[in-house]
Amino acid sequence: MNKIIVITGVSGMDGSILSEKYLEDSKNIVVGIDVWNATGQYPNLKKIINNDRFVFITGDITEKLFIQDIIKKYRPDYFYNFAAISLVPESFKIPQRVFEINAVAVLNMLEMIKTHSPKTKFYQASTSEQLGDYLKTPQNTESPMFPNSPYAIAKLASFHLVRCYRNAFGLFAVNGMLWNHEGPRRGPTFVTRKITLHIASQVKGNKEPLQIGNMDAIRDWGLADDYVDAQIMMMEHDEPDDWAVNTEEAHSVREFIEEAYKYISKEIIWKGEGSNEKGYDEKGNLLVEVNPEFYRPVEVPYLKGDSSKIREKLGWIPKVKFKELISIMMENDLK
């Protein structure tokens, strides 16, 4: 039988990868939802936009009737919610809009599924950013959470809404709590892609140094393609649950920068401290400098995950770790 899969935020990194994976099966129909933009360009969808089994719909997930119409029309087998304002610094500028999209819209989705399509399996894109100030590691879905941004607070609200609707109404609703995952489709405003794109531009002759914020922030980084496999496993499992997805390794932004430069055979020599820190190559050329404008109002200092639950129960393991992830991104951006 055909499966119908609704994916919000379909033109993003995870949404586009997931769509391609489901469309590999000729029985599946993917209904992709994203915001309208004036250019009409959705580069992450170029492989599937003309696929007869891909339905692309533009709209706003905060419009309750829009979501209701989608659910009533398609009564999907799976509903994946990736749509969000996910850039943390941006959430401090527009906190109300962020809460509407990242939390209230999720409440409406759950209500519409409960009312009109209770057999639909629902996936919520959760995040390690919810942990905030909790520094004890390794961390998982049961760790105390003290979020440090409007983005993370809204995501934590949706995390608890999913748990509530699962327990109260018996919905198959899961939280995929993913630690940082990256790849060639990551947007250029995110720090990892900003780094690899800028280094690639320096190879092509750009003399401007990379402008960076807090290099001491530590993250657990994996490859988006691996993490999308985990999302599919969660939804195909017999029972709904909350899952932590990560590599169980932690590295600083500084290490990410160093490793990315190693890919083009450059060693970084650091000089100065704090906001005055700068990175040079062996010839004394300035390559990196700290810019306090990129500091967050409140930092999340240390994220290192525990993915033992999904490894043991579902058999998921990350195929790509830190150094290989950076190589994949650098190879892509140099091309």
Domain boundaries, the chain: 3-183+223-248+303-318
CB atoms within 10 A of CB 98: 25
| CATH code for the structural domain at 3-183+223-248+303-318 | 3.40.50.720
Distance linking the first and last C-alpha atoms of the chain = 41
Q: Active-site positions? A: 127, 129, 151
What does each of the 335 residues of the chain score in pLDDT, given as a tens digit? 789 999 999 999 999 999 999 999 999 999 999 999 988 889 999 999 999 999 999 999 999 999 999 999 999 999 999 999 999 999 999 999 999 999 999 999 999 999 999 999 999 999 999 999 999 999 999 999 999 999 999 999 999 999 999 999 999 999 999 999 999 999 999 999 999 999 999 999 999 999 999 999 999 999 999 999 999 999 999 999 999 999 999 999 999 999 999 999 999 999 999 999 999 999 999 999 999 999 999 999 999 999 999 999 999 999 999 999 999 999 999 99
- Residue 40's pLDDT is 84
Q: Six-digit token pair at 299?
A: 């930092």
Helix (H) or strand (E) holding 232, with range, is helix 224-236
Q: Are strands 78-81 and 54-58 parallel, antiparallel or unpaired?
A: unpaired
CB atoms within 10 A of CB 322: 19
Quote the strand ranges of the chain, DSSP E. Answer: 3-8, 28-34, 54-58, 78-81, 121-127, 173-178, 181-182, 210-212, 218-219, 222-223, 242-245, 251-252, 269-271, 278-280, 286-290
